């Protein structure tokens, strides 16, 4: 088939497709939405699940040196004192006095004044913005508040009465569950340094300027590993994890040409990090962080040891040596990765069908590991002899893979719908199938069709999905 590639999609196009096809809906939609919250629909939840399963399989099940945990969202308030989040987890914020729009001051300086803002104090940011006499991007007025620091942690209270309850925070990163369970894991399993603890879970951040669809959200899921090592091993381990993250991206079909590595400069490092490298992706709104890799030294274990009074050193029996492990941390956000995978997979094509007839199609060329449905079974007509046979096939395939059944509309429209939601294979049951016990399998990307005996279909799809 002839394929003519068109330019990449806009964010508006992706948001519309996500809603139209049931990937992602605005949060609390029937009440007019709650700003910057999103809900995952039937197809979105499948992709999310596939991302998390792929990550867990790649980094936990396929390795001998990583084990998992699943910790709570609420942790003891002292955890956040020890981790530095109470004193350090701030963003600089500024308000327009006229229209009350709120901005991150460092982003305003970088984007509107084209100046580096990393590491600048609130006073310096205020001075720069006052000197530039910047107009508010929303109302055009030039009346700003001072720049203030804003802690990003969401707060709540334990206990029925707010005033007498204990103030607690929703975790802003999953990492701290791992540090506070590190001793439990070393005492109850056979792990030996070097080893990692992995976790997937929700984290919450009261972002000043969320946006760009699900790129920056208030409630996110993180997939994190804290990998415990001797300090002398940190450089080689850092490189190992940098490579492992790129290999994982290949494994789930992310395009390398829209990915780059960016080293953090000293003044932008987080309070716990000695070296951080981001994987950046070329979003329609520019190159932005997709995921990160940090050398957290022994900062977290040392802090927790001091604040809890519990000895967190590791005893290496073979060398009769006691030390506090250092940590390399690969971290990824599920929503951000999901967004990049959809952007990457999105194609609009002018194609010709088997009869030489031209038509336009939107196709999500998602990797089979990520695609929400692996196959769709489509009887050519609703006649019971065909639908009965098709349903038998569906029941059989569902032992292995997620399959959709669709008997409505013309076959061409059904193919187009499956292309748009990224289904790798369509299985068509026609009248010939009743005689020859075979079906037509159509490949989403090449649109080529092949006749396959029903008895071999399950194995055929299994092989092609796992190529």
Query: Pairing mode, if any, of strands 195-204 and 66-68?
Result: parallel
Closest CA to 427 of 379, 384, 367: 379
Question: Using CA atoms, how far apart are residues 241 and 16, in angstroms rounded to an integer?
Answer: 36
Q: Does 224 bind ligand GAP (CB under 6 A)?
A: yes
Contacting residues for 209 by C-beta, under 8 A, at least 6 apart:
102, 103, 104, 107, 216
Nearer to ligand GAP, 113 or 287 (CB): 287
Closest CA to 364 of 54, 55, 22: 22
Token pair belonging to 465: 């999905």
Residue keyed to tokens 């490949």: 443
Contact present, 272 and 299 (Cβ < 8 Å): yes
Phi and psi angles of residue 78, each rounded to the nearest 5 degrees, phi first: -65, -25
- In the complex, the smallest distance separating the C-beta of residue 334 from ligand GAP, rounded to whole angstroms, is 8
Judged by CB under 6 A, the residue of 50, 282, 331, 362 near ligand GAP is 331
- In the complex, the smallest distance separating the C-beta of residue 290 from ligand GAP, rounded to whole angstroms, is 6
Size of the site for ligand GAP (CB under 6 A): 19
Judged by CB under 6 A, the residue of 85, 205, 389, 417 near ligand GAP is 205
Question: Using CA atoms, how far apart are residues 361 and 347, in angstroms rounded to an integer?
Answer: 8
Judged by CB under 6 A, the residue of 332, 343, 345, 447 near ligand GAP is 332
Q: Does 336 bind ligand GAP (CB under 6 A)?
A: yes
- 3-class secondary structure, 97: coil
Contact present, 378 and 427 (Cβ < 8 Å): yes
DSSP assignment of 249-264 equals HHHTT--GGGEEEEEP
Q: Does 301 bind ligand GAP (CB under 6 A)?
A: no
- In the complex, the smallest distance separating the C-beta of residue 179 from ligand GAP, rounded to whole angstroms, is 10
Q: Does 183 bind ligand GAP (CB under 6 A)?
A: no
Q: How far is CA 156 from the centre of its chain?
A: 26
- In the complex, the smallest distance separating the C-beta of residue 188 from ligand GAP, rounded to whole angstroms, is 24
Q: Does 367 bind ligand GAP (CB under 6 A)?
A: no
Q: Does 226 bind ligand GAP (CB under 6 A)?
A: no
Nearer to ligand GAP, 224 or 349 (CB): 224
- In the complex, the smallest distance separating the C-beta of residue 46 from ligand GAP, rounded to whole angstroms, is 20
- In the complex, the smallest distance separating the C-beta of residue 36 from ligand GAP, rounded to whole angstroms, is 9
Question: Using CA atoms, how far apart are residues 346 and 180, in angstroms rounded to an integer?
Answer: 41
- In the complex, the smallest distance separating the C-beta of residue 223 from ligand GAP, rounded to whole angstroms, is 9
Nearer to ligand GAP, 182 or 425 (CB): 182
Q: Does 442 bind ligand GAP (CB under 6 A)?
A: no
Q: Does 289 bind ligand GAP (CB under 6 A)?
A: yes
Q: Does 200 bind ligand GAP (CB under 6 A)?
A: no
Residue keyed to tokens 């399959």: 403
Helix (H) or strand (E) holding 361: strand 358-364
Question: Using CA atoms, how far apart are residues 56 and 199, in angstroms rounded to an integer?
Answer: 9
Judged by CB under 6 A, the residue of 96, 125, 147, 175 near ligand GAP is 175
Contact present, 158 and 166 (Cβ < 8 Å): yes
Q: Does 83 bind ligand GAP (CB under 6 A)?
A: no
Q: Taking the alpha carbons of 395, 22, 210, 107 in that order, is the dihedral positive or negative?
A: positive
Q: Does 333 bind ligand GAP (CB under 6 A)?
A: yes
Phi and psi angles of residue 295, each rounded to the nearest 5 degrees, phi first: -95, 105
Q: Which one of the spans 72-80, 325-333, 446-454, 456-464 is the region binding ligand GAP (CB under 6 A)?
A: 325-333
Q: Does 300 bind ligand GAP (CB under 6 A)?
A: no
Q: Does 252 bind ligand GAP (CB under 6 A)?
A: no
Judged by CB under 6 A, the residue of 60, 79, 96, 217 near ligand GAP is 217
Question: Using CA atoms, how far apart are residues 98 and 93, in angstroms rounded to an integer?
Answer: 16
Judged by CB under 6 A, the residue of 95, 173, 280, 300 near ligand GAP is 173
Judged by CB under 6 A, the residue of 46, 335, 404, 419 near ligand GAP is 335
Residues that bind ligand GAP (CB under 6 A): 173, 175, 205, 207, 216-217, 220, 222, 224, 289-292, 329, 331-333, 335-336
């Amino acid at each position: 088939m002839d394929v003519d590639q068109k330019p990449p999609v806009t964010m508006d196009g992706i948001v519309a497709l996500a809603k139209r096809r049931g990937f992602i809906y605005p949060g609390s939609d029937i009440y007019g939405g709650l700003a910057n919250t999103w809900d995952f629909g039937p197809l979105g939840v499948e992709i999310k699940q596939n991302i998390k399963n792929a990550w867990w399989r790649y980094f936990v099940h396929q390795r001998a040196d990583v084990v998992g945990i699943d910790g709570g969202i609420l942790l003891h308030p002292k955890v956040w004192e020890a981790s530095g989040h109470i004193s350090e987890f701030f963003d600089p914020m500024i308000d327009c006095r006229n229209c009350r729009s709120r901005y991150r001051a460092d982003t305003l300086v970088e984007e509107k004044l084209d100046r580096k803002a990393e590491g600048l104090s609130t006073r310096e940011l205020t001075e720069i913005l006052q000197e530039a006499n910047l107009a508010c991007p929303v109302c055009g007025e030039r009346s700003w508040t001072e720049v203030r620091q804003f802690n990003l942690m969401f707060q709540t209270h334990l206990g029925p009465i707010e005033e007498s309850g204990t103030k607690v925070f929703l975790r802003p990163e999953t990492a701290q569950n791992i540090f506070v369970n590190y001793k439990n894991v070393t005492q109850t399993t056979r792990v030996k340094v070097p080893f990692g603890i992995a976790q997937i879970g929700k984290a919450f951040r009261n972002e000043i300027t969320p946006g760009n669809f699900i790129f920056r959200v208030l409630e996110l899921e993180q997939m994190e590993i804290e990998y415990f090592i001797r300090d002398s091993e940190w450089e080689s381990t850092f490189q190992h994890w940098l490579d492992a993250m790129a290999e994982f991206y290949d494994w789930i079909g992310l395009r390398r040409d829209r990915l780059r590595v960016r080293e953090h400069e000293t003044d932008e490092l987080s309070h716990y990090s000695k070296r951080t490298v981001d994987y950046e992706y070329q979003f329609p709104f520019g190159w932005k962080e997709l995921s990160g890799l940090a050398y957290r030294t022994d900062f977290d274990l040392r802090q927790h040891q001091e604040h809890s009074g519990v000895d967190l050193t590791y005893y290496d029996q073979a060398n009769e040596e006691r030390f506090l492990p250092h940590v390399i941390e690969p971290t990824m956000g599920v929503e951000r990765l999901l967004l990049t995978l959809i952007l990457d997979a999105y194609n609009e094509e002018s194609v010709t069908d088997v009869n030489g007839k031209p038509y336009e199609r939107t196709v999500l060329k998602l990797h089979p590991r990520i695609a929400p449905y692996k196959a769709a079974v489509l009887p050519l007509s609703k006649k019971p002899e065909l639908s009965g046979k098709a349903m038998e096939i569906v029941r059989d395939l569902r032992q292995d893979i997620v399959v959709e059944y669709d008997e409505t509309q013309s076959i061409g429209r059904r193919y187009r719908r499956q292309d748009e939601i990224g289904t790798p294979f369509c299985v068509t049951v026609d009248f010939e199938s009743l005689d020859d016990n075979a079906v037509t399998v159509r490949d989403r990307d090449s649109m080529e069709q092949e006749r396959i005996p029903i008895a071999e279909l399950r194995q055929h799809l299994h092989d092609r999905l796992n190529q």
